[in-house]
Amino acid sequence: MLDLNSLDLEFKNRVASKPGGEKATNCFLCGTCTAGCPVSSLNNEYNPRRIMRMILLGMEKDVLSSPQLWQCSQCHTCVAHCPQDVRFADVMRVLRELALEDGYISREFLEEVEKIDREIRQERIDRVNRLQNNR
């Protein structure tokens, strides 16, 4: 059940004040981002539309402490599909910065996630190259 006293209606403006989050308040919760998201297709729990709704409602603590912040692969598919130019992948990056700023995660945790993302991209390049070399 939603605790109305815990909502911070300024949260969406805080997100919008950061580079990359400027268009967050354009969202009209259509769900196109979730429908095309490759992470959502693998994990039903991961839902960009729900995260946007929580931002707009002011559920700051729930958003910034959510494990979902770290599941986005930053592929930008949602950016290409969004009819409102919200740029959800960039909003997600802002949320990660705010989670660090507010002490929900450590700098080391953030760096480790970025390292994992780099390694996965490198792994893809290496595997595709191997595949091509073995044709």
Q: Which residues of this chain interact with ligand SF4, rule CB under 6 A?
A: 27-33, 37-39, 48-49, 52, 72-78, 82-84, 86, 88-89, 92
Which residue lies nearer to ligand SF4 by CB, 8 or 85? 85
Which residue lies nearer to ligand SF4 by CB, 39 or 105? 39
The separation between CA 36 and the C-alpha centre of its own chain, rounded to angstroms, equals 14
Which residue lies nearer to ligand SF4 by CB, 49 or 105? 49
Query: Closest distance between ligand SF4 and the C-beta of residue 49, in Å?
Result: 4
Query: Closest distance between ligand SF4 and the C-beta of residue 108, in Å?
Result: 22
Query: What is d(CA 102, CA 22) in angstroms, rounded to the nearest whole number?
Result: 20
Burial of 15: CB neighbours in 10 Å, binned 0-12, 13-18, 19+: buried
**Residues 69 and 5: beta-carbon distance below 8 Å:** no
Tokens of 46: 């991961």
